[in-house]
Amino acid sequence: MAMEHIITMATLGRPFQLGMLYDVRSDKLITNVTLWAPRILEDHTNIYKQSYADYEIITEDSFQDKARALGVKPNLKLSLLSGLFNVSGSAEYADDYQKTNLNARVTLKYSITTHFQQLTMKHLGKDNLDHPSLRNKNLATHVVTDVLYGTEAFFVFDRTISNGKFKNEISGKLKAIIDNLIFKADEGAKLKLTNEENKIVNKWNCRFYGDFHLNQTQINLIEAVKIYRGLSSLLGVNNEKAVPKEVWLHPLSPLGNNLTKIVRQISSSLIDHTIKVIEDLRYLELRSLDLSTSKIFTHLDYMETHLSNFTEQLSKMRHVLRKKIALTLPAQRGNTNMLETFLLSVSKEVDSSPFSRRPLKSWLKEKEAEITIITKWIQNLSEDKSLDILIKSSSLDEVINDTRYDYIFCLSLCLVEHSDLQIIDMKKYLHNMENYLHNKKNFKSSTIRKKHKTWFENTHNMKIFDKSVQQFKEFAQGNNIKNSRIKFIVNEKYAVNHNKTVKLILYNNGLEISGFIMPSKPAAPYAISITDNSVTLTWTDESSGSENVQNYKVMYQKYHGKNQSKEDEQWSEEYTNGNYKNITISNLPSSTKFIFKVQAITAIGLSAISARSEPMETFANNESKSDFEGNPNRLMNQQHNQSFSRSSPNDSFVRQSLAVQERLMNISAITHKLAIVPPGSPAENVSIIQPGTPAIFHLDNRTAYVPRYKTSLPTLSKGPDSSNVEFSTVYHPEFGALVMEPFIENLYNISNYGNYKVTIYSEDSQHIIAETMIGLVPEIEISVPKQFIIRDSINNLIVNGIVTIKLVGGGAVAFNGTTDQSGMINLPDTLADGTYEVEIYSPNKPTLQQLKFFMVTYQNRRQEKNFSFLGRSNLKPNEIEIILRWAAEPRDLDSHLYSSDGKHIYFSNKNEKNMALDCDVLYGYGPETTRFTIQPNLTYIYVVHRFSDEPILTKSKAELTFNIDTKTTHINKIGRHDKLVNGEIYKIPELTRPEARFWIVCMIDGSTKQIKFFENVFEDHNDYITNEIDMKYYTE
């Protein structure tokens, strides 16, 4: 748009005078050159009085709000923003921005106009120029024809606040006070604040920008209002101190053909868009500055460095953009072959660069989330002031050689990369832009990174990280003793290969101890026996640390109720002999409640302290066991909700989780009951139960072996070949009976089946109360030797029609045969006792899905050969079955399945929702079968681990069979352009990797139903507990 009309413009502290020339292209005032002589100007000037006063309260701080307050029109905004000219006086307010978003701001603006000067129009003609030489010069575009005089003042009130959410509320209170004072000033009333108003006002600082000089340096609100009331007196008697505030510019084109005729204006919408691009950078710069002041950076500074670099790049980019606009704007306004699209191209370039608003906001949002999480961790570690934990990025360097400590235990935060990709892109892009500005070379924007998943968005990783921080704290609390030889520190290390993690590392004499795992935290202790002066305790402990437990420290104190203070607690201490998980605390007062806690002691240090026990009360002196015949709940109540430990009866109760205990206590009265019989009963009278099936054993008062007890009793179960099957047991007061639930760890270990002698002991584990014989069988016992009907024992379905059966045991085919029409088949007596893999298929119906399950052979209770099938159900939609087989050695390979929601299926945790492992084979060959149903929001990783130390994993001839129902489940193989088929076999690569412990097999994406097979990927460490494997490969 060509500008051929009169322009009204704010002076912004520039010394305008009538007759001066002005170049609108560069917004430059041409001094010392006029079109007319001073005498002519003086003779043709009219002066008018124009008195006006007003005030405004401004609560916003954007450039647009400042421009509006200063009366800046659209085409002057870009010149002001890009620094084409210098401002002074009250216009310096334009450069006063908040330095933080945690800053409340209220600005009080005073404005006065006094008089108006105007040139008459008689001499404004091309023939009336006093300086004809200007006809051939291109100095200016306009001449000043009118000037409005007056003065302005801006009082900027600032205060720092703790929470930006209340900024408007806080600013609103001051605004209301200012409005009230201005009203009083206009009415001539006395300016006075209430006590409450004074408290509010005193929290604010004030800065002054004006067109006049103030004697005082410190200004408060009352003084600012007084200045407003007496502002006119500051301008002199004849307003001689008033300054130009607004001017009118007449185009020069009508005055001569050789003077500039056309000045190109830019659309207001494009100006506003350009300003927004630069303002967005300033806003993000403020956010970055605020983040860099987080308290966490008093401890850890890696991320602070990135924030500082990020802020610096934003500031540089704003400077470069402003400079670029300043260099180009005059030429564009002069219409010199440059189109209005220049500014549009600038904004487009920024939007497609690393300085685009979206990636910058995303980067800051990530940092905000990371700071919040790390701050929560550090606050958790710092809240206990008694813990001497050194939290500092360089803490390891400071203490690694400190001879006061034998060990340094480090929580290492590896969450920041040395070179942040976003900042690298920003620096690269700026370098190219500067080359463009200085060398006039074209530049190319750097590569924009794709959206990535942050470490804190991985819920699986976050559970592990949170657990590591908590374990670190508990370990520090456990070792918070005087003259401790272990130092606890939190440090930072740069993440390697984008693998962001939190590590627990132990150093001994300056060297990292490989494979260290913290001592496990014992469970809360519970009582197995209480007298009038003693409590016998036991507890469970996974003992999963890499250091052996030497003994346990048991702490106790009197219980004073739920509101018992944790301050200045005095705990008495006792120590176990060796690593036995039981102890008797003697010499206690009678009828007194106590609480207990336990701590393991290792060569490295002390474990985390267990949770406190439930309160336990010693008996009164005159109480005896017979006193409880009529009150069976007395001791039961003391033991309610306590865990039970799996150990020998000389040790403690059989271990029993709360869930099992509650389930057994809620058994229906119609459950099959088995009577206690004296030792030596005939084998044919032995009752038969199945693993996992609860059974009720009556405690018959008429039997001398069974007195009436009102509490759980320790038991010992001894089976054939010294198997270690243990029964969960609880006393059931409703039945006056014991409820037992046999549990077998390995269903395919034939030594676990047969007759068991169950011994029931007294509470003190010293006397046998009763003994019984229990026969344990697999899921379905088929008693007919040699001949049976093939049955799927899980689904209880008979296989109809002629089928072929193949038995595979120890890696070799042991039997091939065909059934008759009824599914009957004779098996040879020569089959050795053991576990066999069974394959059944129909020769006449090749489309019939092949059945696979296992068969256990053993001598039944009548000393006959027994064949029992452990069947499997058919695969369901989206279900995968992975069968692991291998050679005789290594004897013990293990299947491990990880899911991205933190679940881990392996020999110690065989069942989770939609995931299961059937067994743990310890003596070669396998098979071990893992089944899981793919969930659309999860990712799975399957690996094989060499548990035993003997022969090389890669020489194990391990192979995996992947089974799926191809009618309902379709899984694509990444990088192989085909689908996973039912029965597909994947063999271990036979490489020379003697140290390999893990074979990393595959990753399965539940969302896309894709499987990725890793090529020759192994891990040498032996950490199968802490989920290091899945954490690493999920991240990659």
pLDDT score at 825? 65
pLDDT score at 124? 62
pLDDT score at 678? 41
Q: How far apart are CA 372 and CA 331, in angstroms?
A: 49
The percentage of the chain sitting over the pLDDT mark of 90, rounded to a whole number, equals 28
- The pLDDT tens digits for 252-265 are 876 664 555 556 66
Q: Read off the pLDDT of each residue in 672-679 and give the average, rounded to a whole number.
A: 45
- The pLDDT tens digits for 308-355 are 999 999 999 999 999 988 888 887 776 644 656 778 888 888 888 899
Q: How many CB atoms lie within 10 A of CB 1033?
A: 19
Please determine, for residue 573, whether its predicted confidence score (pLDDT) is greater than 90.
yes
Q: Read off the pLDDT of each residue in 444-465 and give the average, rounded to a whole number.
A: 72
pLDDT score at 714? 58
Q: How far apart are CA 158 and CA 146, in angstroms?
A: 37
Higher pLDDT, 723 or 412: 412
Closest CA to 599 of 577, 587, 581, 584: 581
Q: Is 924 left (phi over 0), alpha (psi -120 to 50) or beta?
A: left
Specify whether the CB–CB gap between 592 and 558 falls below 8 A: yes
Closest CA to 982 of 853, 882, 854: 882
Most confident range, picked from 268-277, 709-718, 966-975: 268-277
The percentage of the chain sitting over the pLDDT mark of 70, rounded to a whole number, equals 68
Q: How far apart are CA 453 and CA 726, in angstroms?
A: 46
Residue 718 in 3-state DSSP?
strand
> DSSP letter string over 61-88?
-SHHHHHHHTT--HHHHHHHHHTSS---
Q: How far apart are CA 139 and CA 1003, in angstroms?
A: 73
Higher pLDDT, 662 or 600: 600
Looking at every residue in the chain, the average pLDDT score rounds to 77
Q: Which residue has the tokens 């005030």?
A: 55
Angle at 234 between CA 229 and CA 240, to 5 degrees: 140
DSSP secondary-structure letter at 906?
B
518-623 and 787-870: identical CATH topology: yes
| CATH 2.60.40 is held by the domain 787-870 | yes
Lowest mean pLDDT among 178-182, 243-247, 878-882, 934-938: 178-182
Q: How far apart are CA 814 and CA 810, in angstroms?
A: 9
DSSP secondary-structure letter at 510?
T
Higher pLDDT, 841 or 691: 841
Q: What six digits make up the tokens of 695? A: 């059974």
DSSP secondary-structure letter at 994?
T
Q: Any bridge partners for residue 387, and if so which?
A: none
Higher pLDDT, 817 or 465: 465
Q: What six digits make up the tokens of 264? A: 């190109």
Cα 279 to chain center, whole Å? 32
Please determine, for residue 585, whether its predicted confidence score (pLDDT) is greater than 80.
yes
Residue 433 in 3-state DSSP?
helix
pLDDT score at 816? 78
Q: How far apart are CA 36 and CA 634, in angstroms?
A: 114
> DSSP letter string over 91-149?
GGGGG---S-SSEEEEEEEEEEEEEEEEE-STT-STT--S-GGGGG----SEEEEEEEE
Specify whether the CB–CB gap between 153 and 90 falls below 8 A: yes
Lowest mean pLDDT among 32-41, 108-117, 681-690: 681-690
pLDDT score at 68? 95
Please determine, for residue 431, whether its predicted confidence score (pLDDT) is greater than 90.
no
Q: How far apart are CA 874 and CA 966, in angstroms?
A: 12
Cα Rg, the chain, nearest whole Å: 43
Confidence of residue 779 (pLDDT cuts 50, 70, 90): very low
Please determine, for residue 636, whether its predicted confidence score (pLDDT) is greater than 60.
no
pLDDT score at 773? 64
Domain chopping of the chain, boundaries: 7-255, 268-319+333-461, 518-623, 787-870, 879-1035
CA distances from 927 to 748, 892, 895, 905, 920 (A): 10, 11, 10, 16, 9
Q: How many CB atoms lie within 10 A of CB 616?
A: 23
Q: What six digits make up the tokens of 494? A: 């740069």
Closest CA to 808 of 752, 868, 852, 872: 852
Confidence of residue 425 (pLDDT cuts 50, 70, 90): very high
Lowest mean pLDDT among 180-184, 534-538, 709-713: 709-713
Q: How far apart are CA 749 and CA 946, in angstroms?
A: 20
DSSP secondary-structure letter at 451?
P
Lowest mean pLDDT among 179-193, 542-556, 611-625, 867-881: 867-881
Q: What six digits make up the tokens of 112? A: 């006065």
Q: How many CB atoms lie within 10 A of CB 518?
A: 24
Specify whether the CB–CB gap between 690 and 776 falls below 8 A: yes
Higher pLDDT, 218 or 468: 468
One-letter identity of residue 592: T
Q: How many CB atoms lie within 10 A of CB 305?
A: 16
pLDDT score at 440? 45
Lowest mean pLDDT among 551-565, 568-582, 626-640: 626-640
pLDDT score at 314? 95
Please determine, for residue 283, whether its predicted confidence score (pLDDT) is greater than 50.
yes
Q: Read off the pLDDT of each residue in 904-919 and give the average, rounded to a whole number.
A: 81
Lowest mean pLDDT among 392-401, 442-451, 653-662: 653-662
Helix (H) and strand (E) counts in the chain: 16, 53
User: What is the CATH code of the structural domain delimited by 518-623?
Assistant: 2.60.40.10
Q: Read off the pLDDT of each residue in 644-664 and give the average, rounded to a whole number.
A: 39
Angle at 884 between CA 879 and CA 885, to 5 degrees: 145
Q: Any bridge partners for residue 487, and if so which?
A: 408
Please determine, for residue 639, whether its predicted confidence score (pLDDT) is greater than 50.
no
Please determine, for residue 438, whether its predicted confidence score (pLDDT) is greater than 70.
no
Closest CA to 252 of 334, 124, 141: 141
pLDDT score at 8? 94
Helix (H) or strand (E) holding 420: none
Q: How far apart are CA 355 and CA 372, in angstroms?
A: 24
Cα 71 to chain center, whole Å? 49
Who's near 77: CB < 8 A, 6+ residues apart?
A: 63, 64, 67, 271, 275
Q: How far apart are CA 865 and CA 784, in angstroms?
A: 9
CA distances from 9 to 146, 244, 325, 334, 365 (A): 10, 11, 20, 19, 41
pLDDT score at 592? 92
Q: Any bridge partners for residue 53, and if so which?
A: 112
Closest CA to 879 of 969, 960, 794: 969
Confidence of residue 96 (pLDDT cuts 50, 70, 90): very high
Specify whether the CB–CB gap between 643 and 526 falls below 8 A: yes
Residue 477 in 3-state DSSP?
helix
Confidence of residue 771 (pLDDT cuts 50, 70, 90): low
Lowest mean pLDDT among 100-109, 155-164, 412-421, 460-469: 155-164
Q: How far apart are CA 897 and CA 940, in angstroms?
A: 7
Higher pLDDT, 633 or 817: 817
Q: Read off the pLDDT of each residue in 18-38 and give the average, rounded to a whole number.
A: 86
pLDDT score at 684? 44
pLDDT score at 595? 93
Q: Which residue has the tokens 């302005």?
A: 152
Confidence of residue 725 (pLDDT cuts 50, 70, 90): low
Q: How far apart are CA 601 and CA 555, in angstroms?
A: 13
Q: Read off the pLDDT of each residue in 288-293 and give the average, rounded to a whole number.
A: 92
Higher pLDDT, 332 or 75: 75
Q: Read off the pLDDT of each residue in 589-603 and give the average, rounded to a whole number.
A: 92
pLDDT score at 229? 78
Confidence of residue 862 (pLDDT cuts 50, 70, 90): very low
Specify whether the CB–CB gap between 712 and 801 falls below 8 A: no
